[in-house]
Amino acid sequence: LRSSEKREISAAEREIHYQVWLCPDYYVRAPGRVNLIGEHIDYCGFPVLPISIQQDVVIAGRTDHETRNMTITNIRDSFPEYSCSMRNIEVSEVKWYSYVLAGYMGISQRLNTLAPGLQVMVDGEVPMSAGLSSSSALVCASALLAALFLKEKSLTREKIAELCARSERYVGTEGGGMDQAIAFLGVKGKAQLINFNPVRCEPVTLPDSVTFVVANCLVNKWKADGTDFNNRVAECRLGAKVLATKLGVDWRGVATYHQLMTQQSLTPSQLHDSVLLQLHGEPYSKQEIMHLLDCTEEEFSRTIGRSSNTAFQLRDRADHVVGEAARVATFHQLCSGGNPDIKELGGLINDSHMSLKDKYNVSVEELDELTEICREAGALGSRLVGAGFGGCTISMVPSEQVSAFIEEVYEKYYAPKNLKLEECCKLHLFPSSPAMGLCARAVEQCVARAVEHCAARAVEQCAARAVE
C-alpha cells in the first residue's frame, strides 16, 4: 500500500492490510446506480426506474479478536484510516468512513448485539459526489458485511434495502430508498421499476437500439452536507400535508404525495390538478404553514427534519414530483409494450431535466451546458442524474452513434478543461449497461484488484478460498 497522507505505514500495518485484503473472512461488492428516470420522487413514495452499474464498491472484512475495535482502511491513501471501539460506534461527523459505520450500525442495532473486532478494507470505482450513489453503495456493502459477521439470515434483499435506507440517516441524508433498493435488487441486463412501502421491483427490458452514457459535469456536490437535498425532502413533506389539509384530510396521517393519492383514491391527473389549484406559487413561510396545519412548533420541526429552510416552495416542488411520476409511468409503459419509440423515450428524459431545472431548482450551469452538448452530439435525451447541484448526466444515445457521441462531447466539454481523452473515458464519460446487484461472492474481481493495488502476494491462497 502507498503511504498515508500524514505518515508512513509501518511494516506491521502493511502486513495487516495485505492480510485483510487478500485473506478476509468475506468480500462484499455493491454497485453504483444510474436512475434512468424518476428523480427526487422516491422519498415522495412514487416508483422510480434505475439500473445498477458496473462501477462498484468492494469491502473486505476480517475478524479482529485482539483489539475488539473496528478499523476501517481504504486502498487509496487519500482517505484516512479510522478506528474505534466496537462498543463506541457512532457517527459524530460525516467522513468517508461514516458510511461504513452507518451500515454496520443499522444491522447491529436491529440485532441488539455486537460483532467481535473487525478489520475492514474498502476499494471503490464509483465516482464520489457524482450522483451515482457511491455513498449508498458503501452503506449497503457494510450492512451486508455486518449481517454476515453477525449471522443475520432472516433479512430478504428487500428488507435489508429498507434497513439501509434508514441507516443512511445516521450520516444526515433523508433519502427515499431508491439507491439502496437498486444496490440489492439490480439485475444484469435489466432496469428495475422500484415501488416502495414495501420495496418491490419489476424488471424492465430496455430497447437494444440505444445505449445510456454517463457524463460528469465535474462539479461535485456532497449530498450528506444536508442543505439543499434535505430542504427538498422537507418541502415535499410539508406540501403533502398542506395539500391534505386543503382537501379536508387529517395531515397527521399523510407523509407523502403518493400516500395522499392512494388514501383519497385520486388519479395522478387529479392529484396534479389539486396541486396546481390548492397550492399557491409563492414560497410559504413557517408561520403560514403552522397556521394552515394548526400545528405546534415541535410538530413542525419533526416534519421538516434536517432542513434549514425558513421559506418553502411547495407548488413547484409538487408540480415536478407529480409530473416526474407520470413520466416514469409512461417510460415504463412504452418499454413494456416492446419496440418503444426511442424518440418519445428521449423526450421524457429531456422533460425530466427541464423540470428538475425549472421547478425543482437542482441543476447548475455546468449540468445545463453538458446536457445541451450531449443533445447536440446526438443524444435523444439527456438529463442530470442523482440529487443534482453538480455530478453526472445520463444521455440516451443511438447505439451505433456512441463512439462519435463520446468524441464530440469530449471535444466540446472536457478538452477545453485540458483533460485527456483516456482519463475522461475511464472516469468521467462512459457508456453504462445494467449490472448485477449486491453480492458477497465477487472474489475473482477482488483478487484482480488485490494484484493491481497491493502487489501479487498470497493470491494463490485467496484463489483457493474462492474455489472452496
Q: Catalytic positions, please?
A: 179
What are the cell numbers at 355? 423540470
Cell for 42? Answer: 422516491
Q: Are 399 and 432 in contact (CB under 8 A)?
A: no
- Alpha helix ranges (H) inside 36-133: 98-111
Secondary structure letter of residue 437 according to DSSP: -
Terminal Cα-to-Cα distance of the chain (whole angstroms): 27
Distance CA 240, CA 73 (A): 42
3 state SS of 52: strand
Please classify residue 407 by burial: count the beta carbons closer than 10 Å to its beta carbon, then call 0-12 exposed, 13-18 middle and 19+ buried: middle
Rg (Cα) of the chain, in Å, rounded? 23
**Distance between CA atoms of 56 and 130, rounded to whole angstroms?**
13
DSSP annotation of 246 reads H
User: Other C-beta atoms within 10 Å of 116: how many?
Assistant: 15
| Rounded distance between C-alpha atoms, residue 51 and residue 159, angstroms | 19
How many Cα atoms occupy the beta-carbon half-sphere of 167 within 13 Å? 33
Alpha-carbon distance of 38 to 50, in angstroms, equals: 8
What distance in Å separates the CA atoms of residue 178 and residue 47, rounded to the nearest whole number? 9
